[in-house]
Amino acid sequence: GGGTGGSGAGGGTPTGPINVLIWNNALAYGHASRVNAIQYLKMREATDNIKFDTTYAHTGTATDGPSDSFSSSFDASVFADDKLDKYDVVFFLDTTGTTIDDGQKASRRQALQDFITKKGRGFVGTHSATDTYQNNSWPWYVDFIGANFSSHSQAGASGTAQYYQNNTHPILMDAKTPNPWNRKEEWYNFNRNPLSTSIAGLKIILSCHDQSFTSERPTAWVHEMPVMAPATRGGRLFYTAFGHATSAFQEKEVMDLIISGIKWAAYRL
């Protein structure tokens, strides 16, 4: 046992910090929160035994908008087998578009897919991680994350999330997620209900309704991938549609949910 994480399977539970790669490249709409949230994530490193690596993340000044000042320069070289090996979790923090695609698109995608399927590692996505690889541009990713974003309420709309069918998932229990949970958000609709896709291992944990769209729909879910050789466990995904505004990451309940999602994805819950 022991080690600093990133070791995949092995004897016992690792005791070192959970190593998380923050990836926040937005090649369509850019959220300022994908940069501004980092300071709030880092505030949880010491208390939650997590190390957030921002080596490949955008950390400059970001503004909300469709034209992204970062989009012309990003370093996706981390999406290679040897470089991903050190991480327990890849975190798509409000990504959009064909986020990891560069001149070596095929190998970048394969490295992330192998990280999940062949190494049994973890993935966490917030908000526009589902506004990533739209229009069937990477079918594996969309089936992995479960759905693509299709529309949203106005930002800051009042809404309510609740445990889906009274689900008592370990993430909700660890985070002590309120039930019901009233908050303001840019509430997402999706191009399909993740449950209707017959994807094995996908479970909705939170559903929601809001003042703009009253129909109940998913807003947080998990995906437990099947075990594939040489992995000895299946990769794990946690996604929440929360996180449009920087203020979302300043809400303790939202951050608790994300941190617990990271721990669960890393097999530390």
The percent helix, strand, coil of the chain (3-state, each to 5) is: 25, 25, 50
Please state, in angstroms and rounded to a whole number, the distance separating the CA atoms of residues 130 and 191. Answer: 10
* Res. 1: pLDDT tops 50: no
pLDDT tens per residue, range 201-224: 999 999 999 998 888 999 999 999
Return the residue matching tokens 């739209």: 134
Q: What is the pLDDT of residues 208-266, one digit of tens each?
A: 999 988 889 999 999 999 999 999 999 999 999 999 999 999 999 999 999 999 999 99
Mean pLDDT of the chain: 93
CA dist., res. 188 & res. 181, Å (int)? 16
Tens digit of each residue's pLDDT (9 = 90 or more) over 84-138:
999 999 999 999 999 999 999 999 999 999 999 999 999 999 999 999 999 999 9
Rounded to an integer, what distance in angstroms lies between the CA atom of residue 241 and that of residue 127? Answer: 4
What pLDDT is stored for residue 62 in this prediction?
Answer: 86
The residue ranking higher by pLDDT, 5 or 253, is: 253
pLDDT tens-digit readout, 54-93: 999 999 888 899 866 566 789 999 999 999 999 999 999 9
Q: Which stretch of DSSP H or E encloses residue 246?
A: helix 246-249
Q: How far apart are CA 25 and CA 29, in angstroms?
A: 10
- Of the chain, the percentage scoring pLDDT greater than 70 comes to 93
Distance CA 193, CA 167 (A): 17
- What does pTM read for this prediction? 0.94
pLDDT value at residue 117: 97
